Amino acid sequence: MSAAKWIPGDDELDGLARTLPAAEPATDRAEQNRTRMLAGAASVPQYTRSSWMPFVAAGLSLAAAAATIVWFVGRREESAGVAVTAPAARETIVASNGGRFDRVATWPDYQVRVHGGRVSFDVGPVHSSERFRVFTADSEIEVRGTRFIVEAEQDRLVMVLVEDGAVEIRLPVHEPVTVRAGERWSPPRTAQLDEVAPTPLASSDPAAAAPVVVPPAAPAVPSRKSPTKPKIATSVKESAEPTPRETTATTRKPAISVEPVTPTPVPVKPSEAEFRRGWMLLRAGDAGGASQAFAKACSDATADAREDACYWTGVAAKRAGKTTTARDSLAKFITSFPSSARAGEAAALLGWLLYDGGDLDGAERRFRTAANDRVPTVRESAERGLTAIEQRRKTP
């Protein structure tokens, strides 16, 4: 008997269309996308509300075109030991003591890359829609109208001395530091790129995690005056220690008479530092050490990353073969964060640990929880677990 043709009506068609399987984003991909989206959004200006925006955009386009022409013409002037003054004299950049710099972009987002030596800046008021930034390979300095001096060695920031106004210095890992008039600042040792810990991300796979925002990349060249081995920063105390390079920099005669002050960077919370250390150890293959570091971060009830830390305590312990710790940690995580996006994943993981340990009832309970997870791979894992339990129970 041949099948009758199916010619659906509108309602039947639409009703069936609503039951079509929908693609779901994988949890780890979603986390990476979230991270990249936030990083991308941070560098994208927002539209304004007003209706005259198209005219402003057209004006800005013209201005940008003109600025580009000026920039191309002006680039030829830049070299060591000379002063560069914009036609409107909004910024004056003077290189001395072998100062080398490049003007990367002009207004409205003025960017200067300092490679070495001493470079002085005198920048007029910067409007809210504009930026003036100075980069070295390992830092970014944001200006809001000021006079300051930047010293660098081999593309690394050595010292910032602010004569007037204030600048904000940003380094990987550390909180931004504001340096005000009369203050001199040198970077701590952990700010060096070859020692910087990767920013931890809330991804299910630490190896797949991407950095969020990094300063302009450069090869990690050890400082001439601190040829120490690359060492992972393991504590806040260590990061606050002055380096030989810093000492050298601060003994130079200041260009202004104000007593120099070295502001201390905002310290990272111990739990945050432990969390980062956990990631580094996990990436380095030391799952046992990572588990301990995550456990310390997890034990801080006020830690921002507590949820992630508690989850990774269990995962890292499992990777290290510490099944008892892994079981306890995952069970604790599920109890502490029942509504976590990773609760299902943790339940599946715990289910398999219990299954391996012969606790079939406990494993079944965990797999049944994981079977309702929204992530297909977690559900599949749970289904496999339940099937395996069923088969093992049938086996005498």
Partner 1 sequence: MTEGKVLPLRRVHGTVDEMSDRALVSAVAQGDQAALGALYDRFHRDVYRFIAHLLCGDMQVDDLVQSTFIEAHRSAPRFRGESTVKTWLFGISANLTRHHQRSEARRKSAGDKLATVPLANPITPGEAITLEQQRRWLAAAVEMLSPALKEVYVLCVIEEVPGKEAAQVLGIREASLWRRLTDARTALRAAIEEMQS
How many angstroms separate the Cα of 307 from the Cα of each of 154, 173, 273, 304? 40, 20, 15, 8
CB of 49 to partner 1, least distance (A): 5
Q: Which is nearer to partner 1, 170 or 225 (CB)?
A: 170
Task: Give contact residues for partner 1 (rule: CB under 8 A).
Answer: 1-8, 10, 13-14, 16-25, 29-30, 33-49, 131, 140, 142, 168, 170-172, 175-176, 199-202, 212-213, 215, 304-305, 307-308, 341
Residue 52: exposure state from Cβ atoms within 10 A (0-12, 13-18, ≥19): exposed
CB of 207 to partner 1, least distance (A): 17
CB of 231 to partner 1, least distance (A): 22
CB of 170 to partner 1, least distance (A): 3
Per the listing, tokens 């570091």 go with 293
Identity at 46, one-letter amino acid code: Q
CB of 298 to partner 1, least distance (A): 14
Q: Which is nearer to partner 1, 41 or 73 (CB)?
A: 41
Q: Which is nearer to partner 1, 2 or 257 (CB)?
A: 2
Q: Give the three-class secondary structure for 192.
A: coil
Q: How far is CA 109 from the centre of its chain?
A: 22
103, 112 Cβ separation under 8 angstroms: yes
Q: Which is nearer to partner 1, 3 or 88 (CB)?
A: 3
Q: Which is nearer to partner 1, 142 or 328 (CB)?
A: 142
Q: Which is nearer to partner 1, 37 or 65 (CB)?
A: 37
Per the listing, tokens 């390992």 go with 138
**What is the greatest pairwise CA distance in the chain?**
101
Q: Which is nearer to partner 1, 225 or 379 (CB)?
A: 379
Quick count: other Cβ atoms within 10 Å of Cβ 207?
A: 8
CB of 392 to partner 1, least distance (A): 31
Q: Which is nearer to partner 1, 32 or 325 (CB)?
A: 32
Start-end of H helices in 101-176:
none
Identity at 65, one-letter amino acid code: A
How many angstroms separate the Cα of 178 from the Cα of each of 15, 185, 189, 238? 60, 9, 18, 21
CB of 130 to partner 1, least distance (A): 12
Query: Rounded to 5 degrees, what are φ and ψ at 10?
Result: -60, -45
Instruction: Return d(Cα 217, Cα 200) in angstroms, integer.
Output: 19
CB of 340 to partner 1, least distance (A): 9
Which positions ≥6 away from 380 have C-beta within 8 Å?
none
How many angstroms separate the Cα of 350 from the Cα of each of 105, 159, 375? 53, 51, 16
